[in-house]
Each structure stands twice: as structure tokens, then as C-alpha cells.
Amino acid sequence: MADSGGSSTAARISVDGGAGHYKKLPNFLQSVRLKYVKLGYHYLISNAMYLLLVPAVGALSVNISGDGAAQLWNHLRFNLVAVAAAAAALAAFVATLYFMTRPRRVYLVDFACYRPAAAAMCSKEVFMERSRAAETFTAENLEFQKRILERSGLGQKTYFPEALLRVPANPCMAEARKEAEMVMFGAIDDLLEKTGVRAKDIGILVVNCSLFCPTPSLSAMVVNHYKLRGNILSYNLGGMGCSAGLISIDLAKQLLQVQPNSYALVVSMENITLNWYFGNNRSMLVSNCIFRMGGAAILLSNKPSDKKRSKYQLIHTVRTHKGADNKSYGCVFQEEDDAKQVGVALSKDLMAVAGEALKTNITTLGPLVLPMSEQLLFLFTLVARKVFNMKIKPYIPDFKLAFEHFCIHAGGRAVLDELEKNLDLSQWHMEPSRMTLYRFGNTSSSSLWYELAYAEAKGRIRKGDRTWQIAFGSGFKCNSAVWRALRRIDPTAEKVKNPWMDEIDEFPIEVPRVTKID
């Protein structure tokens, strides 16, 4: 039935099946038309400079072709005002072109690391008690885990999820979701409080968690909890190992290059609840002993107005993937053991593979960050070895000339020992990584942020300081990120939402090579 205005009949549907309860369907055709009008308007305004300049340049080129060019030159030779005006116009055009085409700068506004409640602390003795209570490990493998813990470099205050601290343990999907929500939301809440940014202002979301990939995804979980806007660019990275945090940073950087005036939220974490191994394969038991609960949230921006309040500027990201090599691909592998228990097996080739990946990564990174003196020494050594077949050791550049701070993924004591030796770093440089391993354990991709938080809490970060974050992960991957501090970081202000909080004065702690467990 037509309405009183004589317009076409409006379509109606029943909401609950009862008479008289109807709602109008939206006028989709009108919405589509409006959408394309807005898109056309956006395109016109965004490309106004090009649309205006192209006809002008075309007309100018026609006018100055042939005899016109000679007449223009004769006119300009004796007219200094015209020459100056033409030069100014050309300079303005070149400057405009440069500023519109150069990559956008990416700033780290702030970050937050999740610190669980004291009830989630898991001392080494508690860990061994829970392992015995599981009643799935042989006596020999309980002793094996004890030896790993004694030499791991972990302290007595690392954190475990609630489901694994219970007796008996209760690893299930509901508990895994509970852990994920607690870690992610805890870190994001702190970050939003520190920055004052509204959740609705975030345009890009990247979440990485290697071993826990539920449906809906973890990124959808964040979108739902914080009611993020409907056009957010959301990504969920799984199965990419401990280096996925820097992959997330690189992905967010690339997205910020094409999304003007945007905020990007990066969330890095690992989930322990469903990934504790209950079998007796020793290559899979190592991860039980060193992985702990933790996570971080990082806010990036490409807004020039955010430079003054941001902590760091992202200078470089370098990613290396050695997955084409079978030995590298299989050195960290999730699989079933002979008893069909799922775990992550660590190969004996892990250190050698990590060394090769590191060498490839720093070969790419070196020319971007090292001073010319170091690059020349490296080049001379390379030529002497490859061209003249001289029996000399490869030259390892001094990266201490390129960086003031090093955040090396706290994957384990052996990894940190090797990098300290190969990069010729001091105990002071290694302190953030070793203390993070001691206090929080291996928190996977988020460990780099606990390390940077340590350096901030210690008052080490000065304006202009460069920090190198480097992480290794399954696949096998080695990834780097380089940050430059935009201001001095005040440690007194950082203690409010810093995971080290009032404990920072207790560090550094001398960690024995072997710490006996009662």
C-alpha cells in the first residue's frame, strides 16, 4: 500500500512473527549511490594536486615547444623577477612532490608489558611439584627437567597460567581463552591508560600468538572487547615463533605507509595453557622448562603531531627467513611424539641454524647502520678471503658503534651466551636480556619489550640513543628492528606502568651457572 506522499511501497519484514511488529529495510540503492559519491569526492580531493598540475604542465609544454621555447628563453634572460619566480615555482613543485611521495615516519608512542598477579608466580620448586602431580613423566625425565631448570637462568618469580598451577592441571580451550584475555586485555588497558588514545581511534590491529589460534581469532577477541571500529584493518599472525613480534611491527609499519593519520596497535604474546607438553620426549620437554606467561601491547603512529609525545622512531626493520633449508625449517617443530602427545621439538642443530640466520640478517642490516669505518674493514676482509684466498677470520663488525642498547630475545641462556660472544657485547649490554630471562622467563615474542622496559626503568635511554631489537623464531627466522629515542625516558614516570615497577633497584642480580632446586 502506497504512503500518503505517493512514494513507492516500502519493503517490510517481521521481527518476532507477531502482527504489527515490522521494520523498514534500508534503501540499499541509495546507500550504494552515497558510497560512490563519497569515494569520488575522496579521490578528487586526495589527488587534487595531480589533477590541477597535469593540465597546467601539458599546456605549458605546448606553449614552449619549438619557437616558443626560444622566445621564453630570450624573455627570461633579461627578466630577473621572472627567473626568480620560475625558480621558486619549480622549487615548490619539487618540495611538494618530495613530501607527498616520501615514506611516512613511524613513531612508537608507548608500549606496555603485562605483569600477572602474584598468585600466578611459579617458583622452580612449584614447577617440579606440578610436573610430579601430572603423573605422566618418568622419574628420569623429571630429573631431566630439574637439571634444565637449574641451568636455565630463570628465577623464582616467573609466571604460569592458573590452569597449570592447579592440581590436577586443567588445560582446556576455556582456560586458554581466559589466559589470552587476561594477558592481552591487561597489556592493552595499561597502554591506553598511558597514551590516552581512545580505542575508536585505532585503525590497524596486529596480534601475534604462535601456538594458540582459536576461532574467532585473537584479533577478533580484541575488536569485540574494545568495540573497535568496523573498518579496522585487523590481522592475526599464528605459527611464526618467537620472532613474530618484530614481524608484526614490520607489518604495521608497511600498513602505516599507506594509511595516513592512523594508529596501529600491535599485541605480542604466547599462550601456555594448551601448549604444556605432557609426554616424555626430551627434545619437547625443554620448552616446558623455559616458556612462561607474558605479553605486550605497542602503539605506533604515523601522525606528525605525535612526534613530540612519542618515545621512539622506527628506523629500520630487517627480516631474514631460512625456511628454504630443510635443517632450518625443522629445527623448531610442533608435532606428536610416539605416544601421540603434541609438543614443540627443539633440534640439536638449533644454535648452528640461529647462527646462520643471524649472519644473514646482520649482513643486510650492517650497511644500513654501521659507520663507514666498520663497513670498509668488513669489505677489505671479505675481498681478502674471497678474491685473494687469504686464510683470515671473517671480520665481525663492532655493532656497539651503531647501537647504544641491545634487546636480544631471551630465548634461553645458551642463546644469550652465544650472541654475547659473537657480537663482543659487554655484561652491561646483555643485562636487559639476562634479567628479563631471570625475572619473567622466555615470554616468546614479547620478551623484547620487557627488555626495553628494563632499560627505561634503569634510566638508560637518552635522546638520540639507538636500540637494536633482535629475535629468532621457528621457520627459521631472524628479524631485527632499529629504534631511535626521540627524548630522554624518565624512569620515575615509567615506574607507574612498567612491569619492573619497584623491583628495579634490586637488579642486576648475579645469576649462578647452576641454581640447585630443593
- Least Cα distance to 350 among 287, 441, 280 occurs for 287
Other Cβ atoms closer than 10 A to 191: 23
Please pick, among 271, 405, 407, 429, the residue that the annotation labels catalytic. 405
Please identify every stretch of the chain with a pLDDT value under 50, giving residue numbers as ranges: 1-25, 28-29, 32
Q: At 465, is the secondary structure helix, strand, or coil? A: coil
- pLDDT at 40 (0 to 100): 67
Q: Per the structure block, which three cell numbers stand in for 215?
A: 576461532
- pLDDT at 393 (0 to 100): 80
**Active site annotation includes 442:** yes
| CA gap 373, 382 in Å, rounded | 14
| CA gap 319, 251 in Å, rounded | 11
Q: Which residue has the cell 609544454?
A: 61
- pLDDT at 5 (0 to 100): 42
| CA gap 264, 301 in Å, rounded | 6
**Active site annotation includes 42:** no
Please pick, among 208, 442, 479, 498, the residue that the annotation labels catalytic. 442
**What does the DSSP 8-state code read for residue 1?**
-
Please pick, among 113, 209, 242, 407, the residue that the annotation labels catalytic. 242
Tens digit of each residue's pLDDT (9 = 90 or more) over 231-243: 999 999 999 999 9
Which residues partner with 265 through β-bridges? 205, 299
Other Cβ atoms closer than 10 A to 183: 27
- pLDDT at 17 (0 to 100): 42
- pLDDT at 514 (0 to 100): 93
Please pick, among 113, 275, 302, 409, the residue that the annotation labels catalytic. 409
| CA gap 61, 77 in Å, rounded | 19
Alpha carbon 419 to chain centroid, angstroms: 21
- pLDDT at 72 (0 to 100): 60
Tens digit of each residue's pLDDT (9 = 90 or more) over 112-137: 999 999 999 999 999 999 999 999 99
**Active site annotation includes 242:** yes
At residue 341, what is the residue type?
A: Q
- Least Cα distance to 445 among 495, 483, 497, 407 occurs for 407
Q: Tell me the residue ranges of DSSP E strands in 84-155.
A: 107-113
- Least Cα distance to 260 among 109, 108, 106 occurs for 106
pTM over 0.75: yes
**Active site annotation includes 498:** no
Answer for the pair 241, 320: CB distance below 8 angstroms, yes or no. Answer: no
**Active site annotation includes 21:** no
Instruction: Please provide the DSSP assignment of 152-204 as one string.
Output: S---S--B--HHHHSSS----HHHHHHHHHHHHHHHHHHHHHHH---GGGEEE
Other Cβ atoms closer than 10 A to 358: 20
For the CA atoms of 351, 356, 361, 364, what is the dihedral angle to 10 degrees? Answer: 160
Answer for the pair 90, 57: CB distance below 8 angstroms, yes or no. Answer: no
Cβ-proximal residues to 468 (8 Å cutoff; 6+ apart), any chain: 369, 399, 402, 403, 405, 406, 407, 480, 481, 482
CA neighbours closer than 13 Å in the CB half-sphere of residue 391: 0
Q: Show the CA angle centred on residue 508, arms to residues 506 and 514, nearest 5°.
A: 110
Tens digit of each residue's pLDDT (9 = 90 or more) over 483-493: 999 999 999 87
First-to-final CA distance of the chain: 85
| CA gap 186, 42 in Å, rounded | 38
Please pick, among 280, 321, 361, 479, the residue that the annotation labels catalytic. 321
